[in-house]
Copies of this chain bind each other. A is one copy, B any other.
Amino acid sequence: MFGREQAVVEAAVLEANAGFYAAFSAGDVVAMAKLWAEDVRITCLHPGSPLLVGRDAVLESWRVILREAPSSRLRCDHALVSLLGELAIVTGYEAAGEQPAHLAATNVFVNQQGAWRMVHHHAGPLSAPIRKPSAASRAN
């Protein structure tokens, strides 16, 4: 993949990743359901929790979590895309509002008919909070 093409694909993955945090921040269960992949096994590790497997279990967990929209927007700082063909791994630090990040996240996306959709989410606590990057350096 040439540099320009790769940048376009990475931007599309970052947009999908931002969509996940936007759905979370808005408490939007419908958007959350749409952004997860179909026809493949999806998996989710919420912070500290056992694994959830399959659309029913994963989307039910989001329905419960998003029953109340969070009081502040959830950010994903330092989002980094690693492209691997039709898959992409995004890593980042999750934070609420203007707070320092308190979770490390792994989000895996698969390209389905041109759309990047989530197949796996894993968020786990950071031992030490990571400060919000300055506006100039924010990846997302």
Chain A residues near B (Cβ < 8 Å): 40-41, 43, 45, 47-51, 53, 78, 80, 82, 84-87, 89, 91, 93, 104, 106, 108, 110, 119-120, 122-128, 130
CA separation between A50 and B127, bound complex, in Å?
9
Chain B residues within an 8 Å CB radius of A125? 48, 124-125
A80 touches B43 (CB 8 A): yes
A84 touches B122 (CB 8 A): no
CA separation between A102 and B125, bound complex, in Å?
13
B124 touches A43 (CB 8 A): no
Task: State the number of copies, please.
Answer: 2
A104 touches B45 (CB 8 A): yes
A interface, by DSSP: helix, strand, loop or mixed? strand
B130 touches A50 (CB 8 A): yes
CA separation between A119 and B81, bound complex, in Å?
12
B89 touches A108 (CB 8 A): yes
Ordered by A's residue number, 5 sampled pairs between the chains whose C-beta atoms are within 8 Å are: A43-B80, A53-B80, A84-B110, A91-B120, A108-B108
Select which of B40, B47, B89 is within 8 A of A82 by beta carbon. Answer: B40
A119 touches B82 (CB 8 A): yes
A91 touches B124 (CB 8 A): no
